[in-house]
Amino acid sequence: MLSIYKNCSLHSLLARVLPNLQPQIKTAPFRLTLPRKAVILNLMEQIPLFTPLSLTVSDLTRYLRQLMESDDVLRDVWVQGEISNIARPSSGHIYFTLKDQNAALKCVIWKTNALRLRLPLQNGMAVEAHGYISLYERDGAYQLYVDAARMAGEGLLYQEFMRLKARLEAEGLFDPERKRALPARPRRIGIATSPTGAALQDMLNTLRRRYPLAEVLVAPCAVQGEEAPLQIVAALGALDRLGADVILLARGGGSLEDLWAFNDERVVRAVAASRVPVVTGVGHETDFTLCDFAADLRAPTPTGAAVLATPDKTDLLNELNGTLRLLDGAFLDGLDLRRRGLHETVGQLERNSPRDDRQRAFAPAGAQPAGRAAARIRRGHP
C-alpha cells in the first residue's frame, strides 16, 4: 500500500515509527545502515500514518466538472472536426459528434442557440464549433456545449458525396421520369437488408400486420463495410430474378460512414437499373443517400418502406365488402328483371294458346278458360 505523507520531517517520521530511537534523534545525528533502512520502509508500508482521501463517484465527477469550467482555455474554445451522428429531437436541441482521425468529442447545442444558428449542420461537414467544455455528470462524459459554428471546409466524405451526386444527376439517373409506380397489390415483396438487424424484423412485422397475402423474399446482405456494396448489388439482382414485384432496400440509422455503402456508385447504378420498382428506407428521416435519389420511392425509415409498398388489409376488407354489396344489389336487380320477363312470357303464351280457343268455343257463357283463370290467380287477380 502506497501512502502519501505531507509536512513530516525525517526525524519526526522516524520518531513516530520508532519511538525508542527518539532520544538519539534529538541529541545527535542519526545514521541509517542498509538493514535498518529496510526495516523502516517495511514499517512504513504496514503502518499508515494518514488516512488516504476517499471520494464518491459523484464527488469526483463534480470536482472534475468544476476544474473544467474554471479553466480559461476550456471556457472559451474553438474546436475543429467533422460532424457525425447528428440528431435533432423534438426538444429542439441538437446533438452531434465532432471527430478527426484520432478522437471524437460529443457536442450539444441547446435550443436557444440552435435557433440562432445560421449554418445548416449536416453529417460529414467539417466545421469549427465554439463553446465551453464541461462534464455531463450522469454519464461521466466530457462534451462541448456549442453556441456558434462556422464552416471549416467540406469533409472528405461529404465532398465525395456531392461530387458523385452531381455526376450521376448529370447522367439522368435521378430524373423524375425514370420513377415507376408501385404495384397496388404486390404478390411478392423482396427485401434486401442485413439478416441480423432490427430493420428486418420491423419490416416483417409491418408486412405481416398490413398485408399478409404477399409472399416475402429476403436476400440477406451486409449493409456496412467494404463488402457491403457488392453484396447489396447481388441481393438486388437475386430478388429481380426471383420475380419480386417490388424491392425494399433498407437498413437502420447511422453516421455518414455507416451509410456509405448506399452512396457507392455500384449500388446506385444497380438501383437505377433494376427492372423491379425499388423503395429505399435507409437510416432515419434526416438521412439521405444517393440510393434514395435513384430509387422509385424513398421512405424515411425501414418501417416506412414497408408501409409505402403495401396496401392496408383493413382498407382491402372495406373495399371487398363494398364490392360484395354491389354484387348483391346487381344480382337481385337482375333476378327481379328476369322474373318479370318470365311472367310476361308466360302470360303471352297462355293468351295465345290454342287450348284456350277450344275451351272458349265449348265453355258456357261467362266462363273463363282454365289456363287463363289459373294464370290470373297466380298473378294475384280474381
Residue ranges of domains in the chain, CATH in brackets = 1-54 (no CATH), 60-154 (2.40.50.140), 183-311 (3.40.50.280), 326-378 (no CATH)
| pLDDT, average across residues 92-117 | 93
Put residue 104 in one of left, alpha, beta given phi > 0 → left and psi -120 to 50 → alpha: beta
163/352: higher pLDDT: 163
Lowest-pLDDT range, 1-5, 13-17, 210-214, 247-251? Answer: 1-5
Task: Please give the Cα distance from 95 to 89 (Å, whole number).
Answer: 8
3-state secondary structure of 65: helix
Q: Is 275 within 8 Å of 304 (Cβ atoms)?
A: no
Global pTM?
A: 0.55
User: pLDDT value at position 356?
Assistant: 56
- Phi, psi (rounded to 5 degrees) for 216: -105, 125
Q: Is 129 within 8 Å of 106 (Cβ atoms)?
A: no
Q: Find where cell 472528405 sits.
A: 156
The predicted-structure confidence for 71-81, as pLDDT tens digits, reads as follows: 989 999 999 99
User: pLDDT value at position 49?
Assistant: 55
Q: Is 290 within 8 Å of 165 (Cβ atoms)?
A: yes
Task: Please give the Cα distance from 181 to 278 (Å, whole number).
Answer: 10
Lowest-pLDDT range, 37-51, 84-98, 177-191? Answer: 37-51
Q: What percentage of the chain has pLDDT greater than the value 90? A: 51
Band of residue 189 on the pLDDT scale cut at 50, 70, 90: very high
| pLDDT, average across residues 331-350 | 85
Q: Find where cell 542498509 sits.
A: 34
Task: Please give the Cα distance from 198 to 201 (Å, whole number).
Answer: 5
- In a 13 Å sphere around the CA of 131, the CA atoms on its Cβ side amount to 25
Band of residue 296 on the pLDDT scale cut at 50, 70, 90: very high
Band of residue 318 on the pLDDT scale cut at 50, 70, 90: confident
| pLDDT, average across residues 234-249 | 97
Put residue 145 in one of left, alpha, beta given phi > 0 → left and psi -120 to 50 → alpha: beta
**Burial per residue of 184-221, b for 16 or more beta-carbon CB atoms within 10 angstroms, e otherwise:** eebebbbbbbbeebebbebbeebbeebbeebebbbbbb
pLDDT at 124 over 70: yes
Lowest-pLDDT range, 61-65, 126-130, 318-322? Answer: 318-322
The predicted-structure confidence for 25-43, as pLDDT tens digits, reads as follows: 444 444 545 455 554 555 4
User: pLDDT value at position 8?
Assistant: 46
Nearest to 137 by CA among 81, 190, 56, 61: 61
User: pLDDT value at position 363?
Assistant: 55
136, amino acid identity: Y
Task: Please give the Cα distance from 11 to 13 (Å, whole number).
Answer: 5
Q: Is 296 within 8 Å of 273 (Cβ atoms)?
A: no
User: To the nearest whole number, what is the mean pLDDT of the chain?
Assistant: 82
Task: Please give the Cα distance from 338 to 332 (Å, whole number).
Answer: 10
User: pLDDT value at position 339?
Assistant: 87
User: pLDDT value at position 191?
Assistant: 97
pLDDT at 20 over 50: no
Q: Is 186 within 8 Å of 288 (Cβ atoms)?
A: no
pLDDT at 359 over 80: no
- Phi, psi (rounded to 5 degrees) for 193: -165, 180
Q: Which ranges of the chain would DSSP assign to H, the alpha helix? A: 10-17, 22-27, 34-46, 57-70, 72-75, 111-116, 156-170, 198-210, 228-241, 265-273, 290-294, 302-308, 313-351, 354-362, 370-378
User: pLDDT value at position 171?
Assistant: 95
Lowest-pLDDT range, 69-78, 212-221, 265-274? Answer: 69-78
User: pLDDT value at position 22?
Assistant: 45
For 114-129, give the DSSP string.
HHH--S---TTEEEEE
User: pLDDT value at position 14?
Assistant: 45
| pLDDT, average across residues 171-191 | 95
Put residue 236 in one of left, alpha, beta given phi > 0 → left and psi -120 to 50 → alpha: alpha
Report which DSSP code applies to 99: E
pLDDT at 209 over 70: yes
